Amino acid sequence: MLNSLVSYSLIKSIYDQESKDYLDTFIPFLLMSFPKDQLECSMKILPKLICEKFGLKIPQHALNSIITRSIRKGYISRKSNICYLNEEGVKITSDILININNINRQVNATIEDIRRFMLNNYSINVPKERILRSLVVFLKKHQETLLSYFIPQLLQDTKEINDHSDKLERYLLEYLKIADQQKPEAFNTLKQIFYGAIISTIINKENVNEANKGFGKLQIFLDSNFMFSLMDLHYPDICKPAKELFALLKKNKFKINVFDFTIEEMVRVLRVYTSNKQKFIPGIRVDTIYSSLRNIGWNDSDCIHFISRIELKISEMGIDIVNTDFDLSKFEIDKELYSKLSQYKKEQNIFGQKHDILAIEELKRIRKNRPQRQIENCIAFFLTSDQKLARFNLIEMEHRQNSTVSEVVSDRVLTTLLWLKNPEWSKDLPWEVIVSAQSELLIHREVWEKFHENLIRLKEQSKITDEDISTLIYHYQRESELSAISNPEEVTDEFTLSEIEKSKKRISQHIHKKILEQKVKLEKRQIREIEQNNKEILDKIEAIKNKIKQESLRKAKVKAYLVVFACIVSIIVAVYFIKVDNALFIFALLPFLGFELNIMKIKDNLLSSFFKKSYENKLIEFDLSSEKQ
C-alpha cells in the first residue's frame, strides 16, 4: 500500500522536473517495471508488473502511447510484442531509484508524525498500516469524482454518497490543517501525494494528448449553493475556494450566468431563516446555511435587507441574470424524475427538486438537446457544489451510459480540470477545495436537528438541566464528536445522556465553573407575530419587484420595437435614394465586412439591454427610497 503513495509523489516530482507532459511523466514507471536483472519483457505482462510494483492501473491504449514515446526517446526498443531496455533507459531507472528512496523516507516520516499526532491529541494509538489505508481511501474518494468524467462507466451504480468521514479520516483532516501552519515538510509531502494522485487519473482519459486542450466559448450557470458561497453566506473556508474559482472563471472569460429561478430558490431558502435560526447555536458548525448565518450573527433585518438587494448584488459581481419567466411554484416536475432524485437527495424538499430539474431541462434546451462529448466545447453547463445532484445527472440521465457530458458539473471536477489543463493558472486551488472546504468536518444537518430535539425533549422531561446542556454544547470536542455521525438514528436519548456524562468527566472544575457562569440557554421558538410581520415585509418586497420587472419589460419592448421600426424605415429610405441595384450590392457586401443584418437578433439584443438597464435603475431607486425610510 505504501507503493501507491510513493508512486503518486513520484508522479508529481517527475512532472515538475520534466517538460510537464503527462505521457512523459509515466515513462519512468514503464522502465522501472521490467523484471529485476532483465532487459526484456513481454508487452502482455507490463500492465500487471506496473500495477504490482507501483499500484498504478494504466489502460492498454495509454500504455501503447507511453511505449511509443519511450522508443522515440531511445529508452527502449521493440520487436513484435517484446520490449527491450536500452542503455539510456537503464540510466533513467538508476536516477529514479534514488528519488524513490528519498520519497519513501519522506512518506514514512509523515505517516509516523500523523501517528504521534493522533496519540497526543486523541489518545489513540493507530497502526501505520491503518493510517495508510485511510490516506488511500481519502485519495480514491477524490480520484473517483474526476474519473467519472474521464470514464463514466467506472462510476458505481449507487445513489448514496458518503459526505462524512469516519473518525480516523476526520483526524487526518485536522492534521492537514495543523500541518499547513506548523509542519511545512509533512504538509508538502502530503500535497505532493495529492497532486500526483490527481495527475494519475489523467492516464485514464481516452486521448491523453488532449488533456491540455483549452475551453471554447462556454456559458456557466451557477447553482444557489455556489452563489451563497460567492456572497459570503457559507463558512469562510467554504467561501474562499468558491471565490477563487469564480475569479479563475472570469480570468478565462467564461460567460457566467444565473437563472432567475435560481435567485427565486435562494430567496425561498433565506426567507425561512428567521424561523429556523433558533435551532442553531453560535460556535457550533452545522452543514447548513442557517448555521453559518447564525455564526455570522445575522438577524431578521439582515435577512430582509439582503433579499431586497439580491439582484443588485449579483449584477455588481458581473453575473448576468437570465430571465426565463418560470415560476417554481407552478412548475410541474416529472414524477419519475422526482422519484429518482429523491433517492439521491432524501432530505431535499419539493421546491429544491423543482429547481434542480428545471435547471437541467433549461441546460438541455440551451444545448439544443444535442449530446455533448467534450466538456471543453459543451456550449453550457450548470456549476454546483452539490455532489449528489451531479451524480444523479450523470447516472439517471444516461450520460454515464452514453459517455456524454452532464448538464451538471461539480465545482470540484471543474477546479481539477482547470488545474490539469494549466497548473500555473489555479496553482493550489484544487488542494484548497479538498482541504479547506471539507464538509466532513461539519455536523450533518439531520444529525444536529435530531440532537437538538433530544435536548429539548429531555429538558422538558426533567432528565437533564440547563447545566447539562451547557456542559455538552460547549465542550471543546462536542462538534467533532457529532460530525463523525452520518446516521441520525444513532443520536438516541441514551447516546445524548451518555455524551453528557462523558463531557462532565472531561471538563475541569475551573472550566466547568466558567461555563456555568456564562451558560447560554437554548433560544425560545421565534414569536409567531414577528414571523408574520417578516413574511408581510418580504411579500411586499416581492410584489414591488415583480411590478418593476413587468413595467421594465413593457418599456423595453416598446423601445426595442421603436428602434427596429426606425431601422427598417431607414433601410427603406436608403434603398429608395441609392437605387435598388446599388442597395443589393451593399447588402451582399455586408457579411464579408463582418456585419450581419438580422432584425430579430437585433430586436432580442435591444430588448435584453433595455430591460436590464431599466430594471436595475428601478431597483436602485427602490433601494435608495427604502434606505431613506
Distances (CA, A) of 315 to 161, 548, 607: 34, 16, 18
The mean per-residue pLDDT over the stretch 368-394 comes to: 92
**Boundary of a domain, candidates 412, 441, 470:** 441
Q: Tell me if 31 sits within 8 A of 92, measured CB to CB.
A: yes
538 in any annotated domain: no
pLDDT range class, residue 324, cuts 50, 70, 90: very high
Rounded to 10 deg, the angle between the 335-344 and 350-366 helix axes is 110
Which amino acid is located at 513 in the chain? K
**Boundary of a domain, candidates 517, 534, 556:** 517
Ranges 207-221, 543-557, 563-577: which has the least confidence? 563-577
CATH at residue 271: 3.40.50.1010
Distance in angstroms (rounded) separating the CA atoms of residues 425 and 22: 17
Q: State the pLDDT at residue 142.
A: 76
C-alpha cell at 326: 418560470
C-alpha cell at 55: 499500484
pLDDT range class, residue 315, cuts 50, 70, 90: very high
Q: State the pLDDT at residue 596.
A: 53
Asked whether residue 93 falls in the same domain as residue 221, the answer is: no
Model confidence at 430: pLDDT above 70? no
pLDDT range class, residue 527, cuts 50, 70, 90: low
Which amino acid is located at 442 in the chain? L
**Boundary of a domain, candidates 395, 416, 441:** 441
Q: State the pLDDT at residue 472.
A: 77
Asked whether residue 314 falls in the same domain as residue 436, the answer is: yes
Q: Which domain holds residue 105?
A: 2-175
The mean per-residue pLDDT over the stretch 38-46 comes to: 89
Asked whether residue 41 falls in the same domain as residue 148, the answer is: yes
The mean per-residue pLDDT over the stretch 159-180 comes to: 71
Asked whether residue 275 falls in the same domain as residue 336, the answer is: yes
pLDDT greater at residue 315 or residue 501 = 315
Helices (H), 202-346: 224-230, 236-251, 260-271, 273-276, 289-296, 300-308, 310-316, 335-344
Of 472, 455, 479, 480, residue with least CA distance to 506 = 472
Ranges 63-72, 138-147, 494-503: which has the least confidence? 138-147
Of 114, 157, 69, residue with least CA distance to 394 = 157
Q: Give the burial string for 171-183 (b: 16+ CB within 10 Å, else e).
A: bbebbbeebbeeb
C-alpha cell at 121: 491529541
Q: State the pLDDT at residue 1.
A: 41
Ranges 393-402, 541-550, 594-603: which has the least confidence? 594-603
Asked whether residue 437 falls in the same domain as residue 341, the answer is: yes
pLDDT greater at residue 571 or residue 244 = 244
Asked whether residue 337 falls in the same domain as residue 459, the answer is: no
Model confidence at 61: pLDDT above 70? yes
Model confidence at 133: pLDDT above 80? yes
Q: State the pLDDT at residue 501.
A: 81
C-alpha cell at 556: 423595453
Question: Rg for the chain (alpha carbons), in Å?
Answer: 30
pLDDT range class, residue 265, cuts 50, 70, 90: very high
Distances (CA, A) of 520 to 7, 116, 326, 445, 607: 52, 36, 45, 21, 55
- DSSP 3-state of 525: coil
494 in any annotated domain: yes
Write the CB contacts of 253 (distance below 8 Å, at least 6 apart in sequence). Answer: none
C-alpha cell at 601: 437578433
pLDDT range class, residue 8, cuts 50, 70, 90: very high
Of 50, 73, 44, residue with least CA distance to 200 = 50
pLDDT in tens, 254-264: 999 999 999 99
- DSSP 3-state of 369: coil
pLDDT range class, residue 115, cuts 50, 70, 90: very high
Q: Tell me if 215 sits within 8 A of 405, measured CB to CB.
A: no
Write the CB contacts of 585 (distance below 8 Å, at least 6 apart in sequence). Answer: none
Q: Tell me if 29 sits within 8 A of 160, measured CB to CB.
A: no
Distance in angstroms (rounded) separating the CA atoms of residues 235 and 241: 11
Pairing assessment for the beta strands 76-79 and 82-85 based on DSSP bridges: antiparallel
267 in any annotated domain: yes
Instruction: Look at the block and give the residue holding cell 438580422.
Output: 598
Q: State the pLDDT at residue 476.
A: 40
Model confidence at 100: pLDDT above 70? yes
Asked whether residue 380 falls in the same domain as residue 429, the answer is: yes
Element (H, E) at 536: helix 528-578
192 in any annotated domain: no
Ranges 185-194, 236-245, 582-591: which has the least confidence? 582-591
Asked whether residue 239 falls in the same domain as residue 161, the answer is: no
The mean per-residue pLDDT over the stretch 243-259 comes to: 91
Asked whether residue 249 falls in the same domain as residue 291, the answer is: yes
Q: What is the DSSP letter of 154?
A: G
191 in any annotated domain: no
Q: What is the DSSP letter of 443?
A: B
C-alpha cell at 110: 509523515
Q: State the pLDDT at residue 19.
A: 62
Q: State the pLDDT at residue 620.
A: 74
- pTM for the model stands at 0.80
Asked whether residue 406 falls in the same domain as residue 274, the answer is: yes
pLDDT greater at residue 523 or residue 349 = 349
Structurally, how many domains does the chain consist of?
4
pLDDT range class, residue 216, cuts 50, 70, 90: confident
Q: State the pLDDT at residue 593.
A: 47
Q: Tell me if 458 sits within 8 A of 302, measured CB to CB.
A: no
pLDDT in tens, 560-597: 788 877 877 777 776 666 655 555 555 555 555 444 55
Model confidence at 303: pLDDT above 70? yes
Q: State the pLDDT at residue 477.
A: 43
Distance in angstroms (rounded) separating the CA atoms of residues 157 and 154: 9
Q: Tell me if 58 sits within 8 A of 41, measured CB to CB.
A: no
Q: State the pLDDT at residue 76.
A: 93
Of 524, 525, 507, residue with least CA distance to 470 = 507
207 in any annotated domain: no
Ranges 26-30, 156-160, 218-222, 624-628: which has the least confidence? 624-628
Number of H helices, E strands in the chain: 31, 8
Model confidence at 237: pLDDT above 60? yes
The mean per-residue pLDDT over the stretch 14-28 comes to: 84
Of 343, 112, 65, residue with least CA distance to 210 = 65
Distance in angstroms (rounded) separating the CA atoms of residues 613 and 22: 48
Ranges 200-209, 410-419, 467-476, 539-548: which has the least confidence? 467-476
Sheet holding 82-85, edge to edge: 40-42, 82-85, 76-79
Model confidence at 464: pLDDT above 90? no
200 in any annotated domain: no
Asked whether residue 363 falls in the same domain as residue 380, the answer is: yes
Sheet holding 380-384, edge to edge: 320-322, 255-259, 219-222, 380-384, 408-410
Asked whether residue 503 falls in the same domain as residue 624, the answer is: no
The strand ranges marked E within 104-223 are: 219-222
Mean per-residue pLDDT of the chain: 82
CATH at residue 93: 1.10.10.10
Which amino acid is located at 450 in the chain? K
CB neighbours of residue 581 within 10 Å: 8
The mean per-residue pLDDT over the stretch 45-73 comes to: 90
Distance in angstroms (rounded) separating the CA atoms of residues 499 and 247: 44
Q: State the pLDDT at residue 628.
A: 40
Model confidence at 310: pLDDT above 90? yes
587 in any annotated domain: yes
pLDDT greater at residue 628 or residue 329 = 329
Q: What is the largest CA-CA distance in the chain?
A: 100
Beta bridge partners of 382: 221, 408
**% of the chain at pLDDT higher than 90:** 29
Of 254, 261, 246, 230, residue with least CA distance to 375 = 254
C-alpha cell at 266: 435562494
Instruction: Look at the block and give the residue holding cell 437563472.
Output: 259
